[in-house]
């Protein structure tokens, strides 16, 4: 099956109606809503590196979209569309059918359109998705806005996907395969949160980005970080390794003034957990039940040398 048949059979049917030009021409064309800024991001998933080789193709499709929508959510943006650059080792029609269904299911759940892409042959399966969204000018929630005294909040249980990666076929497998980008929460936090990101490389490292960019520090109360039952049963060091250094959580981590947090909770019913506070001293102090705790690992890094 040739490139063009793959595109028309598996992807062109996903072209929506309310796009000026969608899949099929050289480029897609969209009319942006009036007075909105374009927000864009791209994330690549490589087989064997970002997902285990035996991951079901439907889950690969879902996750490739979800991780990008999570980045848009982390700015408070409204997702609009995606472009899909796909490199395949060979043409496996059963695989393509399931993969494109996973893409379509995630797009549909979050009201997003597939508007274009590229299809190539390569020895390794790789999926690169560019996501586009909108935001009102100067509204985006950046990493650099955390203020001393702000509360640090996460949107759900942390470490589940890292646990699932190390315990194949556990009850937490779905958290690894089907992350749920916190799109509605991200948008609801506009005007409330002072800084935000999504947790993809481990809470410690990701929170570190907010602290660095905002030139502040934090006190984290580790016992307040919510975890699944499977993690609660682990010894503290192993659990904290998954919670602080794991990855693939795709929950939001944000900072917010105590006043705004109170107001936000009065108006919204999202699951939220306060896990610490922002302090002036530019270090991150980890406490477990008021005792200082020294974590061993701090997150995933590409290109990191073993000696680093
Ligand atoms: P060109 O050669 O001009 O780059 P292509 O032949 O690569 O165009 O693609 C033809 C059309 O199909 C374009 O509209 C492109 O966006 C779309 N397309 C190609 N691959 C994919 C894909 N995997 N998913 C979605 N759209 C795709
Ligand atoms: Mg091309």
Residue from 117, 121, 131 to probe ligand 1 pocket by mutation (most atoms less than 8 Å from CB) = 117
What residue's CA is closest to ligand 1, atom 11?
24
**pLDDT given at position 300:** 64
Q: Which CATH class is domain 3-135?
A: alpha beta
Element (H, E) at 217: strand 217-221
Query: Does residue 117 have its Cβ closer than 6 Å to ligand 1?
Result: yes
What are the start and end residues of each CATH 3.30.1330.10 domain in the chain?
3-135
CB contact set of 121 (below 8 Å; sequence gap of 6+)? 87, 88, 89, 90
What are the start and end residues of each CATH 3.90.650.10 domain in the chain?
151-292
**pLDDT given at position 7:** 83
Q: What number does CATH give the domain 151-292? A: 3.90.650.10
Q: Which ligand is nearest to the CA of 19?
A: 1
Q: Is 201 annotated as a binding residue?
A: yes
How far is the centre of ligand 2, averaged over its atoms, from the C-alpha of 266 (Å)?
Answer: 50
How far is the centre of ligand 1, averaged over its atoms, from the C-alpha of 70 (Å)?
Answer: 24
Query: Does residue 86 have its Cβ closer than 6 Å to ligand 1?
Result: yes
Question: Distance between CA atoms of 49 and 288, rounded to whole angstroms?
Answer: 32
**Tokens of residue 12, six digits:** 């062109």
pLDDT tens series, the chain, 308 aa: 788 888 888 888 766 556 788 888 999 999 999 999 999 999 999 999 999 999 999 999 999 999 999 999 999 999 999 999 999 999 999 999 999 999 999 999 999 999 999 999 999 999 999 999 999 999 999 999 999 999 999 999 999 999 999 999 999 999 999 999 999 999 999 999 999 999 999 999 999 999 999 999 999 999 999 999 999 999 999 999 999 999 999 999 999 999 999 999 999 999 999 999 999 999 999 999 999 999 886 566 666 654 44
Interior/surface letters 59-79, b for 16+ CB within 10 angstroms, e for the rest? bbbbbbbbbbbbbbbbbbbbb
> What strands lie across the sheet with 126-135, from one edge to the other?
37-46, 126-135, 78-88, 113-121
3-class SS of residue 278 = strand
């Amino acid at each position: 099956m040739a490139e063009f048949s793959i595109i028309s059979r598996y992807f062109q049917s996903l072209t929506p109606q309310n796009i000026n030009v969608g899949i099929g021409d050289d480029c897609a064309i969209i009319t942006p809503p009036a007075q909105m800024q374009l927000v864009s991001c791209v994330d690549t998933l490589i087989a064997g590196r970002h997902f285990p080789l035996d991951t079901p193709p439907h889950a690969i499709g879902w996750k490739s979209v979800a991780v990008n929508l999570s980045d848009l959510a982390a700015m408070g943006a409204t997702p609009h569309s995606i472009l899909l650059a796909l490199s395949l080792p060979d043409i496996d029609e059963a695989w393509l059918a399931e993969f494109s269904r996973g893409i379509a299911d995630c797009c549909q759940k979050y009201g997003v359109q597939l508007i274009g892409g590229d299809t190539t042959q390569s020895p390794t399966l790789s999926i690169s998705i560019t996501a586009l969204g909108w935001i009102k000018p100067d509204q985006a929630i950046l990493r650099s806005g955390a203020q001393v005294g702000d509360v640090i909040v996460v949107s759900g249980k942390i470490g589940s996907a890292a646990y699932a990666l190390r315990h194949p076929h556990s009850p937490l497998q779905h958290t690894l395969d089907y992350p749920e980008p916190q799109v509605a929460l991200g948008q609801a936090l506009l005007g409330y949160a002072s800084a935000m990101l999504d947790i993809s490389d481990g809470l410690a490292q990701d929170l570190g980005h907010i602290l660095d960019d905002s030139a502040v520090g934090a006190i984290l109360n580790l016992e307040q970080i919510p975890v699944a039952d499977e993690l609660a049963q682990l010894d503290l060091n192993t659990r904290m390794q998954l919670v602080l250094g794991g990855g693939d959580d795709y929950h939001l981590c944000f900072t917010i003034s105590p006043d705004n947090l109170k107001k936000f909770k009065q108006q919204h019913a999202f699951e939220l957990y306060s896990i610490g506070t922002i302090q002036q001293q530019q270090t991150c102090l980890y406490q477990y039940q008021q005792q200082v705790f020294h974590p061993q690992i701090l997150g995933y890094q590409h290109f990191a040398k073993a000696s680093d």
